[in-house]
Amino acid sequence: MVLSPPLLRLLLGSDPERHSAIALTLFGSALYLFNAGLIIAAVSYDYASAIIAPYMLVCLLVGAVLFYGLLRTGLSQRFHDPNLVMAQSLYCAFSVALGYLTVDQHVRGVVLTFMPAILLPGQFALPPRRIHHLTVVMFLMLVGATAINWYINPGEAELFGDILRCTYVTGILVAVCAVAQRVSRNRHEMVLKSEALANALSKVEHMAAHDQLTGLLNRHRMHEVLDKEWHRLQRQTRPTTLVMMDLDHFKRVNDTLGHQAGDEVMKRFATLADTYLRDADVVSRWGGEEFLVLCPDTTAEQALIALNRLRDQVHVQPFLDSHPSLQITFSAGMATLRPSESMDSAIERADQALYQAKEAGRDRFMQSP
C-alpha cells in the first residue's frame, strides 16, 4: 500500500531527514498495539494472567504513544539522543520482561525470543559501549523477571526449564551483542573515514579555488564566477561593475624590504579589501599585485563609495609591524558592464582605466567611459 503525500506528512512530519527515525518508531508503535491485542486474546484463552495483564496493556499502550509522540512533535530533539534509540530499547526490554511475567509458562519461551532482537536497531545508532550496557541491562531484566516469577508463582516454578531458557536467551544475547558491536564499530569507522575524506576534499577544493598567499579567489575560479554572473545578466538587466585594483610602487617594497615583507603587504591588503568592500562584492587576486573585484547590482558611483572606504582604511592601517611608517596606496579602474558586452571586454576597460589612474599620479580611481 502506497500512502499519499498528505498522509505521509501527517504521519512523519515535514522534515525529510527525520522521516526514517519516525517511521521506525511508528512501526514499533504498531508492534506494541499488536502485542496488546495478543495479550487480550491470551487472557481470554487463559494463556495470560488476568492480574498482571492490565499492567502489561498499560505498558504497551504507553510505549505505542509515548515515543512516537516525542519524535513526531519534535520534543525528542531536545535530548542528547534525538531518536531515543537507547530509551526505546530499554523500554522494549522492560515490556518483554513484563510480558514474561504475564503469559503462561508454556509460551514464555516465545516471549523471550524478542529480547535479542531489541539489539538489532541499536547497531546502527548506538556506540559499542552503549550496546554492551544495553545487553547487561537486558540480561538483568531477564534474570530479574525469572526471579520475580518464582516469587509470585511458586507453584508454577520450573527451576530447570527457567534456567535453561535464561541460559539459551543469554547465549543469543551475547552473540547478537558481539555482532551488533562489530557493526556499530565498523559504522563508526566508516563515518570517521567519510568525514576525513570530506575534509580533505574540501581542502583540495579550497586550494584549487583560492590564492595560496592571500586566501582570495584565484584567477581561474574568478573566471567561473564572472561567467556565471554574465549568464545571469542575460536573463535580468542590472548594473554590474568590475574594479581592477593595483598596489602602487609595490616593486619598491619588494626591492627594499624583501619578498617576505611584500607577501605580508599583499596579505594585509587582501584582508582589508575583503573586509571593507561590500559583502556582495567578490574579490580575487588577478595576478601579481593586481586584484579584480566583481560588484554585482552596482553602478560605478556605488562602487566608488566602497573604494573610498577601503582607501581610508589603507591610509591609516599599519601594514608591517617591523616598519610601522610604511605607507601603502592603491589605484583602481572601474568599468560598468555594457549591454551584451563580454566580461573580457569589461575587464580590459577596467584595466585601461587603472592604467589611466596610474598615469594621473596613483592613489586614485578612474572610471572607464
Catalytic residue set: 289
Contact 294/242 with Cβ under 8 angstroms? Answer: yes
Q: Enter the C-alpha cell of residue 184.
A: 556499530
Position 162: which residue type? D
- What is residue 238's DSSP assignment? -
Calpha distance 228→221 (Å, rounded): 11
Length of the chain: 369
State CA 368 to chain mean position distance.
46
In sequence order, the 6+-apart residues with CB closer than 8 A to the CB of 260 are none
In angstroms, rounded to a whole number, what is the distance separating the alpha carbons of residues 328 and 203?
32
Element (H, E) at 205: helix 159-209
Other C-beta atoms closer than 10 Å to the C-beta of 176 total 20
> Is beta strand 365-367 parallel, antiparallel or unpaired with respect to 330-336?
parallel
Residue 179 in grid coordinates: 555482532
3-state DSSP assignment of residue 66 = helix
